[in-house]
Structure 1
Amino acid sequence: MIRLEDLRVFIHTVDQGSLSAAARLLQLTPAVASSAVARLERELGVRLLIRSTRHLRLSEEGERYLPHARAMLETERQGRHALGAGDGFSGQLRLTLPSGLGRRLLRPWIDEFQQAHPKLSLQLHISDRSMNLFDQPLDAAIRYGVPPDSGLVVLPLAAGNRRVICASPDYIARHGTPREPASLREHNCLCFVWHEQIHDDWHFDYQGRGRRIAVSGDRTSNDGEVVHRWALDGIGIAYKSHLDVIDDLRANRLVQLFPAEWCEPAPLHLVCAGRDALSPALRALAKHLRAQCDRHLNENAAR
């Protein structure tokens, strides 16, 4: 008889690329994880993984079996969800959100979702630091861009979102409006620090080709909300996500300086550590947040 626990170990081993990484993720010893895969192989009568001292890969039979293993786990999750569907979702959702967007938009939208499912409890981590979902006790992260880790599951929330060059009316009145990306070199640009690196190369699509402009300014921060506040205070020019500044643009607290098509994409995603971590509650939350992002962006476009 095939055990669901053995399927989980097999799938995580494939997603993580090693038995030891899968064992850490599932809080098992390497010996227990290895036994689970061996037990599954005995039950099926085939070799699923080809292992050496340094490498691990799927066998031909493992390649054919993997989608069915995923489907069995998904069916089991859906069955558990159906038993409790009348009462809504329950349990805990542990999420990490970017600082500015998390406080202004995502937190109220996630509160709405929790209120519709009162048996859910929330644990929100507000930070612009990149957190390893395989090592941290988190269910999902909401982040800009597409993570390079192929083991992660990525659900789009605002695929068409872009960045915006913006400044306050007061800053523009004192320093003038840059007419093209190269003009930014003459202005005080407010830069964001990510992974200890100052992001002072701003990318644009200008006159039919990509341009990288090296900018500078008297202030940098590893907190996107601080950069946002500096822009509102008239200190300099910021390169922010449209979603992040949309309300300030609407209220004329900030002014968009370049056409949207000049600025680089900033897609927003919900990310979790593998398909096994993608619970029905997370799927429903992603659907709710995607609808809210679409509404927010479309309202701004209409105005």
Structure 2
Amino acid sequence: MNAVAVFVQTVKAGSFAAAGRRLDQPANTVSRRVQQLEQQLGVRLLQRSTRKLSLTGAGREFFERCVAGIEDIENAQRSLGEGAEVRGTVRAAVAADFFEFFPIERVRRFLAEHPRLKLEFLLSDAHVDLIEHSIDVAFRAGELEDSGYVARMLGVSQDLILVATPEYLRASGMPADVAALADRDCVIAPTAQGRASWRLLGPDGVETVQVGGRFAANTLLSQVRAVRAGFGIGLVPRVVVREDLHEGRLLRVLPQYRRDGGGGVHAVYPSRRQLPRAVAALTELVEGFFLELETSGACSGAETKSERRSGG
């Protein structure tokens, strides 16, 4: 059991040296324990190189079968020693634009409430391997891939809406209908054709229009910033621009149209067993934010002052 625990810590830490620091053992001792485990099992669990460790196929299967049990034992030990305290390090994977809409002030207050807690955020639009990057929880929006991980829905899907600056709309005119978007500058993701297909749900069902513009960017955050700078009309999540709409910095375009973000917001975990207190606490923090958005109408279409001015 001890050798299995050493192996699990090595995978989670990413190296023998990092695992040794966690276990308070020399790196060569950790390496030797893993080698002994491999000899006992008769299979290679880790591929070793000068740059990093990586799991073999057998190693990944063995880790996924063992990690839950080892974590249960560790959590039981922590529970006896910690009481109800939230402590330790939590590594979370989030979208590159996560802090564009999630208030960083909430994280500050959360850390102030739990002085023995440390948070590490990996911001990327790519869906990283939770095991390889030692991720405790990932917060993901949209349709989930069948990855074999454990997921729990935290909130409903985020509507995407059409917005632009008042200055741009004064110069170019408010589009009268969906078809008119084809003649406007729209902020899109880069495509081989130079144009994107927007499927919008309106009073008469789904309508599709091919749009393009002079500025394209491959991240949502860059697109939102371009829209705020007056580059054109963007199709962006309502939650990201809720303050811009409220303050009148952006206006709704064709407010009777939207696109369903699809899939909702999920917390994704690498293990099926009971969560460490710190991971559960962070999940509750994020879930509470999305529940507030649903209650306030930021995700469901509540009218704002700027929407009323634009005819919404």
| TM-score when normalising by structure 1 | 0.68
In structure 2, what residue type is equivalent to 1:164? I
In structure 1, what residue type is equivalent to 2:92? L
Q: How many Å apart are 1:170 and its aligned residue?
A: 1.2
Pick aligned residue for 2:90 from 89, 93, 97: 93
Count of aligned pairs between the two proteins: 262
CA distance in 2, matches of 1:181, 1:167: 15
Q: How many Å apart are 1:121 and its aligned residue?
A: 0.9
CA distance in 2, matches of 1:248, 1:37: 60
Residue 231 in structure 1 maps to residue 239 in structure 2: no
Q: How many Å apart are 1:93 and its aligned residue?
A: 1.5
CA distance in 2, matches of 1:233, 1:93: 36
Pick aligned residue for 2:141 from 139, 144, 155: 144
CA distance in 2, matches of 1:128, 1:285: 20
In 2 relative to 1, CA 240–5 (structure 1 residues): closer, same or farther, beyond 3 Å?
A: farther
Pick aligned residue for 1:113 from 94, 102, 110: 110
In 2 relative to 1, CA 283–202 (structure 1 residues): closer, same or farther, beyond 3 Å?
A: farther
Contact 1:146 1:269 in 2 (8 A): no
Pick aligned residue for 1:213 from 193, 209, 214: 209
Structure 1: unaligned runs, 5 residues or longer:
13-22, 39-53, 56-65
In structure 2, the residue corresponding to 1:79 is in which secondary structure?
A: helix
Contact 1:6 1:37 in 2 (8 A): no
Contact 2:187 2:213 in 1 (8 A): yes
Residue 256 in structure 1 maps to residue 248 in structure 2: no
Farther off after superposition, 236-245 or 110-119: 110-119
Farther off after superposition, 97-106 or 165-174: 97-106
Deviations 1:36-63 (A, max 9, x none): 699xxxxxxxxxxxxxxx99xxxxxxxx
CA distance in 2, matches of 1:24, 1:32: 14
CA distance in 2, matches of 1:221, 1:89: 39
Q: How many Å apart are 1:119 and its aligned residue?
A: 0.7
CA distance in 1, matches of 2:40, 2:226: 56
Q: How many Å apart are 1:198 and its aligned residue?
A: 8.3
In structure 2, the residue corresponding to 1:99 is in which secondary structure?
A: coil
Contact 1:128 1:222 in 2 (8 A): no
In structure 1, the residue corresponding to 2:132 is in which secondary structure?
A: coil
In structure 1, the residue corresponding to 2:89 is in which secondary structure?
A: strand
CA distance in 2, matches of 1:138, 1:271: 10
Q: How many Å apart are 1:100 and its aligned residue?
A: 3.1
Q: Which residue of 2 aligns with 1:203?
A: 199
- Percentage of pairs with the same residue: 21
CA distance in 2, matches of 1:115, 1:193: 41
Deviations 1:189-235 (A, max 9, x none): 111359x9989232322355444433211111223222111111111
Q: Which residue of 1 aligns with 2:26?
A: none
Contact 2:164 2:233 in 1 (8 A): yes
- The alignment yields a C-alpha RMSD, in angstroms, of 4.1
In structure 1, what residue type is equivalent to 2:287? R
In structure 1, what residue type is equivalent to 2:112? Q
In 2 relative to 1, CA 234–25 (structure 1 residues): closer, same or farther, beyond 3 Å?
A: same
Larger fraction in helix: 1
Contact 1:109 1:292 in 2 (8 A): no
CA distance in 1, matches of 2:249, 2:213: 21
CA distance in 1, matches of 2:224, 2:88: 34
Q: How many Å apart are 1:171 and its aligned residue?
A: 1.3
In structure 1, the residue corresponding to 2:214 is in which secondary structure?
A: coil
